[in-house]
């Protein structure tokens, strides 16, 4: 697979990464651990070198999974994880709010290093901005960890441009991870411009719209009771029915290109900037291989213009998050 470079820190990764969260949490019961270890290793065999996890996924169990899966190939891969949530004392899923106090960052990193079975975290993101802790203090804490050799690169997730600039002035930010896809295009405003200006890579999460843009669901699809999508306005049956027009657009484009809707969605993202690296997640080998196929799908300038013009006519129904979660983004 081709590689791309994130940020002025020159972090080289595969053009497509693998988001590992859904293997353990958020989309119903966790998948079989050994099967997921095999899937992660299959991704490496197929050229994927960039793997994304977080302390809060589980909590802890996703980092443990990724650590075990990648330990034999550690020198071949880049592992990204995240800190920034206050976890429940009893270990239950979810979180009890944000916490980016420097002392807590150190505790989180110590735990992540053990679970990931590594001596250094390649890319460490602040998962969500903590309004109670100046971002300069957060960047300074990560800078200390970089000097100590425990972290290589600093990243932010769902941060707003003012926060990005302030953090970058203390410790250069290598990558920003925000949601971005053909149905979540907020970053196309100020955010991508600031990435270009400051030399920061961009890592879109949920690049397939949490599965919707694959064309494998419709308004009649039902989710497991523990599936996170049950909470999202954009996944109400009414919203899904309304948003089907976007999937139809992807399918029509794919039919002309000999590609699936998922491949079109991912290739479109790759075409936006040379420093964009999407991290689609999956629990199935066939889907992994399908996603990887997007890395070789290219569009002409005219084809991209046609996609953009058609997508611009679509008004996406439903907010991406309920208010309680949306207020944690863009700060």
Catalytic residue ranges: 57
Q: Which residues contact 123 (CB under 8 A, 6 or more apart)?
A: 6, 11, 78, 79, 80, 81, 152, 153, 154, 155, 174, 175
Handedness of CA 241, 299, 203, 312 (dihedral sign): negative
Q: How many CB atoms lie within 10 A of CB 305?
A: 11
Q: Which residues contact 283 (CB under 8 A, 6 or more apart)?
A: 22, 23, 31, 35, 36, 39
Burial of 251 by CB count in 10 Å (0-12 exposed, 13-18 middle, 19+ buried)?
middle
* Cα–Cα distance, 283 to 303 (Å, whole number): 31
Q: Alpha carbon of 15 to those of 28, 35, 175: distances in Å?
A: 28, 24, 14
* Cα–Cα distance, 331 to 325 (Å, whole number): 12
Strand ordering across the sheet containing 121-126: 18-19, 50-52, 78-83, 121-126, 151-157, 173-179, 201-205
CA angle 31, 175, 110 (to 5 degrees): 60
Could you check whether the bond before residue 99 is cis, i.e. omega within 30 degrees of 0? no
Residue in the structure block whose two tokens are 């420097």: 102
Residue 285 near residue 39 (C-beta atoms within 8 A): yes
* Cα–Cα distance, 307 to 303 (Å, whole number): 6
Strands 11-14 and 3-6: antiparallel
Q: How many CB atoms lie within 10 A of CB 122?
A: 20
């Amino acid at each position: 697979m081709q590689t791309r470079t994130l940020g002025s820190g020159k972090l080289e990764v595969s053009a497509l990464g693998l988001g590992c969260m859904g293997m353990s949490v958020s989309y119903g019961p966790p998948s079989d651990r050994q099967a997921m270890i095999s899937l992660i290793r299959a991704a490496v065999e197929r050229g994927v070198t960039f793997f994304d996890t977080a302390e809060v996924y589980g909590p802890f169990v996703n980092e443990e999974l990724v650590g075990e899966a990648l330990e034999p190939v550690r020198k071949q891969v880049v592992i990204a994880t995240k800190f920034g949530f206050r976890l429940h004392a009893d270990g239950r899923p979810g979180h009890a709010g944000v916490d980016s106090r420097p002392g807590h960052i150190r505790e989180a990193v110590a735990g992540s290093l053990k679970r990931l079975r590594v001596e250094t975290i390649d890319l460490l993101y602040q998962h969500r901005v903590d309004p109670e802790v100046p971002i300069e203090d957060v960047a300074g804490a990560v800078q200390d960890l970089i000097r100590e050799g425990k972290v290589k690169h600093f990243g932010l997730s769902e941060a707003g441009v003012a926060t990005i600039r302030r953090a970058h002035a203390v410790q250069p930010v290598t990558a920003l991870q925000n949601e971005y896809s053909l149905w979540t295009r907020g970053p196309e405003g100020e955010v991508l411009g600031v990435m270009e200006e400051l030399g920061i890579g961009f890592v879109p999460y949920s690049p397939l719209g949490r599965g919707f843009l694959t064309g494998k669901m419709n308004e009649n699809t039902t989710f497991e009771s523990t599936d996170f999508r049950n909470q999202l306005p954009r996944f109400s049956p009414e919203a899904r029915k309304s948003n089907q027009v976007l999937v139809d657009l992807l399918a029509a484009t794919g039919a002309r290109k000999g590609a699936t809707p998922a491949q079109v969605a991912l290739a479109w993202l790759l075409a936006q900037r040379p420093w964009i690296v999407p991290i689609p997640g999956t629990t199935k080998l066939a889907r992994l291989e399908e996603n990887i196929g997007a890395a070789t799908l290219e569009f002409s300038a005219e084809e991209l213009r046609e996609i953009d013009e058609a997508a611009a006519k679509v008004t996406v129904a439903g907010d991406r998050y309920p208010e309680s979660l949306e207020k944690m983004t863009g700060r």
